[in-house]
Amino acid sequence: MRPPPLYLFKCVVGICFSLNDAQIHRELDMLINLTDVFTSAGKERRESLPYKPDSFSYMGNTYRIQEKSPITFSFSNTGNGRALIRGSVDLTLEIPCDRCLQMVDVPLAAAFEQEVFSPDANQQSEDQDEQSFMQGYELDVEAFVNNEILIHMPVKVLCKPDCRGICKKCGHNLNQGECGCDTFVPDPRMAAIKDIFNADKEV
């Protein structure tokens, strides 16, 4: 007989929900145990793992990942209970142009280098307190890499340096030609003079 499906419970911010077999395996795939690196002087290890998400969320928006490379890691012991993580991942994200909203393929190369600490390390620093991507002796790969991608996200995305944007009236993409809308903007100083003139006429 086929064994019954395995279920575990995961709790996030006090809310618990069950994980089935597939979800458990995915959770385990995302974790790298660093016990040997933390505890062995001079220990070095290399890993290459796929980055599984097909999209990335940033500032309330979700962007599709068009291309992605494997994540390369190197782990080096830097002292008792300490390890240095180096590596990189390359992505191509589909992000709208900040001016005309046309979708742009934006390459993003995230290279990283960060020291992490085991739970029993004699290290009471802010860095240790902020290691939300560490679960005991295990590195949560997706959480760690997502944090690095956030750091490397572009401040501004343009489809081209001289992008003309969109018409403020009809929303037409001005890179595709004029829309015919009246774009005249009156000088606000003239409006004040006009009000004075109209007031004199009424008198």
Least confident residue range of 27-31, 116-120, 149-153, 155-159: 27-31
Any domain includes 115: yes
Q: Please report whether residue 77 resides in a domain.
A: yes
The set of residues, in sequence order, having a beta carbon less than 8 Å from that of 44 and lying 6+ positions away, is 37, 74, 75, 76, 77
Q: Decide if pLDDT at 31 tops 70.
A: yes
d(CA 31, CA 135): 8
Number of compact structural domains in the chain: 2
CB 102 within 8 A of CB 173: yes
Q: Are residues 117 and 53 in the same domain?
A: yes
pLDDT class of 73 with cuts at 50, 70, 90: very high
Determine the structural domain holding residue 118 and report its residue range. Answer: 31-163
pLDDT tens for each residue of 102-126? 999 999 999 999 999 998 876 555 5
Same domain? For 81 and 105 the reply is yes
Q: Mean of the pLDDT values across residues 128-144?
A: 87
How much is the pTM? Answer: 0.69
Domain-located, residue 146: yes
DSSP 135-162: ETTEEEHHHHHHHHHHHH--S---SSTT
Q: Is 176 in the same domain as 188?
A: yes
Mean pLDDT of the chain: 82
Name the pLDDT band for 89 (thresholds 50, 70, 90): very high
Per the DSSP assignment, residues forming a β-bridge with 62 are 57
Asked if residue 178 and residue 148 are part of one domain, the reply reads no
Residues 95 and 191 in one domain: no
Please say if the pLDDT value at position 169 is more than 50: yes
Q: What is the DSSP letter of 3?
A: P
Q: What is the pLDDT of residue 24?
A: 37
Q: Does 125 reside within a domain? A: yes
* Percentage of the residues of the chain whose pLDDT score is greater than 90: 62
Query: Got the DSSP string for 18-53?
Result: EE-HHHHHHHHHTEEE-HHHHHSTT-EEEEEE----
SS3 201: helix
- Range of lowest pLDDT (9-18, 56-65, 118-127): 9-18
pLDDT level of residue 203 (50, 70, 90 thresholds): low
Q: Does residue 5 lie in a domain region?
A: no
Residues contacting 100, CB < 8 A, separation 6+: 159, 163, 164, 165, 166, 173, 174, 175
What is the chain's percent helix, strand, coil content, to nearest 5?
Answer: 25, 40, 40
Same domain? For 152 and 180 the reply is no
The reply to whether 35 and 72 lie within a common domain is: yes
Confidence of residue 23 (pLDDT cuts 50, 70, 90): very low
Same domain, 145 and 98: yes
pLDDT at 62: 95
Tokens standing for 62? 């979700």
The pLDDT value recorded for residue 187 is: 66
